[in-house]
Amino acid sequence: MRVAAIQLEAVPADVDANLQASERLCDEAAAAGAEAIVLPEFFTTGIGFLPELVDAALPPEGAATELLQALAQRHGALVGGSFLCRDGDGHIRNAFFLARPDGTLAGRHDKDLPTMWENCFYVGGADDGVVAVDDELTVGLAVCWELMRTQTVRRLAGRVDLVLAGSGWWSVDESWPPRALMRGLERRNAVVARRAAEAFARYAGAPVVHAAHAGRLQCAMPWLPLRYRGRFEGNTVVVDADGTVLARRDPGDGAGVVVADVEPRRVASLAAPDRFWLHRRGVLPTAVWNYQRAHGRRWYRQHVHA
């Protein structure tokens, strides 16, 4: 199967511009023969601590889903990606929709846990992310730091032939003091971001097609008198089931498409470690994860779903 992953430089909260860019890049992927195309998470909005993202959330039957279905039918390909989706119960979720080549929806997966400031904008889901496309192909859906958690391995390993994943992974702001510490944290963050999909393929025992964001990001910081200035880590990649990288687009390459041929299959996988994270987190990243989660849940109750 020829697969493609999209690397996007989103315009924050500009749904129309991002849908147009997504359509153009998916058309480019299809022109290269892709039979499955994945867009990054938040492909309609981008991500950051940006209050305007709340009003940019779309209904499940809205413009983003319509585009995925139209592209799938136009190109006779699987097409999927996640976006901020406001459901009928009033909650927003980070929902990955996958459309079949005939334009019908194969399934939906809601990201299980928001990452840091993402807690401001959506709540987590509880489905397993396993989607039967047809009698011969079962796909696993995973979103960003789900590739970092053992619980994702437990729900997908040995059950899927192909993993479609998308992320919006941002960097550590290296301009904050002490700069030597921040630079060191970012070096480690960038290494994990680069290797996450490769490692996950070995844990899942299936090829991984991973779409991502690139470009710069500026926004406020939750509960801190600082402004974040950073970038997205990119690393749009296609990885074989044994962890071999078949195609990659680095963050400095900007928006574009990676295409590779993979064999959807299930192989023997690595056992997940007996801990929450697949990759160990340091003290400071763990502290930021927890303080931004606490802030985000409160912010969500105040501004999104009272």
Phi, psi dihedrals of residue 111, rounded to the nearest 5°: -50, 135
d(CA 229, CA 189): 15
* Tally of CB atoms within 10 A around 300: 21
The list of the chain residues with pLDDT below 50 reads none
pLDDT tens-place string over residues 123-174? 999 999 999 999 999 999 999 999 999 999 999 999 999 999 999 999 999 9
pLDDT of residue 92: 98
Mean pLDDT over the full length of the chain: 97
Give me the count of residues in the chain: 306
What percent of the chain is helix, strand and coil (3-state, nearest 5)? 35, 25, 40
- Evaluate whether 183 touches 171 at the Cβ level (below 8 Å): no
* Tally of CB atoms within 10 A around 235: 25
Report helix, strand or coil for 29.
helix
Q: Which of 246, 186, 158 is nearest to 210 (CA)?
A: 246
- Evaluate whether 188 touches 209 at the Cβ level (below 8 Å): no
- Evaluate whether 238 touches 260 at the Cβ level (below 8 Å): yes
- Whether omega before 178 lies within 30 degrees of 0, making that bond cis, reads yes
User: Which residue carries 């941002």 as its tokens?
Assistant: 170
For residue 294, the Cα-to-chain-centroid distance in whole angstroms is 22
Phi, psi dihedrals of residue 208, rounded to the nearest 5°: -125, 130
- Evaluate whether 7 touches 212 at the Cβ level (below 8 Å): yes
Q: Write out the two tokens for 293.
A: 């989660």
- Evaluate whether 53 touches 47 at the Cβ level (below 8 Å): yes
pLDDT tens-place string over residues 9-39? 999 999 999 999 999 999 999 999 999 999 9
pLDDT of residue 306: 79
Residue 249 per-residue DSSP state? E
Is the domain spanning 2-303 CATH 3.60.110.10? The answer is yes
- Domain range summary for the chain, segments of one domain joined by +: 2-303
pLDDT of residue 62: 98
pLDDT of residue 277: 96
CA distances from 293 to 92, 263, 288 (A): 16, 38, 8
- Evaluate whether 70 touches 103 at the Cβ level (below 8 Å): yes
Q: How many helices (H) and strands (E) are present in the chain, helices listed first? A: 5, 14
